[in-house]
Structure 1
């Protein structure tokens, strides 16, 4: 599992990016969540796995963590 912070997330479009220290940003979609999708805000801390998606690295099994 990797961790990072939400760089931005658009709930209407269901996509955004996670900033991962020292690595490229990772795409987040509404399908990325391990459970039911939750509202994300800029700066939220998340954990996730990464797989090679259609447009590059994409988060899967994403969970929202408390700070």
Structure 2
């Protein structure tokens, strides 16, 4: 699976683009490829993993899953003691 960062995603239109780690062309992503229940949308800067398939107009993301806190893994920094 490839990993990358959401470049932008328009929730109203249901699509956006992901910048792939390691370079290369940005990958198109449609809301129907997002693997989550409920309202499927991504946020700019969100880390994701996905498969790359060839779409009608170029590479597109399939089986998109959020990495980090959206995937059930807590990625927050530990709390710091306040003195």
Q: Say whether the fold is shared (TM-score over 0.5).
A: yes
Q: Which residue of 1 aligns with 2:53?
A: 51
Which structure has more RCO (C-alpha within 8 Å, separation ≥ 6)?
A: 1
Structure 1's unaligned 5+ residue stretches are none
Write out aligned runs for 1:12-23 (5 A). Answer: 12-21=12-21, 22-23=23-24
Q: Which residue of 1 aligns with 2:25?
A: 24
Count residues in correspondence: 67
Shift of 1:34: 2.6
Distance, in Å, in 1 between the alignment partners of 2:30 and 2:41 is: 12
Shift of 1:31: 1.4
Distance, in Å, in 2 between the alignment partners of 1:35 and 1:45 is: 14
**Structure in which a larger fraction of residues adopt strand:** 1
Using structure 2 for the length normalisation, give the TM-score: 0.73
Q: What is the RMSD of the two structures over their aligned residues, measured on CA atoms?
A: 1.4
Looking at CA atoms only, which structure, 1 or 2, has the larger radius of gyration?
2
Q: Which residue of 2 aligns with 1:9?
A: 9
Distance, in Å, in 1 between the alignment partners of 2:25 and 2:66 is: 20
Say whether the 8 Å CA contact 2:34–2:41 is kept in structure 1: no
